[in-house]
Amino acid sequence: MGKERSAAASGEKHNKMLVGVVCNFAAELKLLLTALLILCSLATLLQFIPSRFTISASDLRFCISRIAAAGPTTPPTLPSPPSLFHNYTQKETDEVLPSGIIRRAFNPYGAAAYNFITMGSYRGGLNTFAIVGLASKPLHLYSRPTYQCQWLPFSSNKENDTNITSSLSYKILPDWGYGRVYTVVVVNCTFPQPINLDNSGGTLLLHSSTSGGGDSKFNLTDTIPALTEPTGTFNLSLFTSKPKYDYLYCGSSLYGTLSPLRVREWIAYHVRLFGERSHFVFHDAGGVHEEVLEVLKPWMELGYVTLQDIREQERFDGYYHNQFMVVNDCLHRYKFMAKWIFFFDVDEYIYVPPKSTIRSVLDSLSDYSQFTIEQMPMSSKLCHSVDAAKRHRWLFINFGECGGNSRKVNK
CATH 2.60.40 boundaries in the chain: 117-235
For the chain, counts of helices (H) and of strands (E): 8, 17
Alpha-carbon distance 357 to 344, whole Å? 19
Alpha-carbon distance 318 to 119, whole Å? 14
Q: In 3-state terms, what secondary structure has residue 206?
A: strand
Rounded alpha-carbon distances, angstroms, from residue 20 to 10, 58, 73: 15, 38, 17
Question: Per CATH, the architecture of 117-235 is what?
Answer: Sandwich (2.60)
Reading the chain (411 residues) residue by residue, the pLDDT tens digits are: 444 444 444 554 444 444 444 445 556 667 777 877 787 777 666 555 554 444 555 554 555 555 455 555 444 444 444 433 333 344 456 777 786 666 767 776 656 778 999 999 999 999 999 999 999 999 998 888 999 999 999 876 555 444 566 776 889 999 988 878 999 999 999 998 899 999 999 999 999 998 765 555 668 889 999 999 999 999 999 899 999 999 999 999 999 999 999 999 999 999 999 999 999 999 999 999 999 999 999 999 999 999 999 998 988 898 889 999 999 999 999 999 999 999 999 999 999 988 899 999 999 999 999 999 888 887 766 666 666 665 444 333 333 334 445 454 443
Q: Are 124 and 239 in contact, with CB atoms under 8 Å apart?
A: no
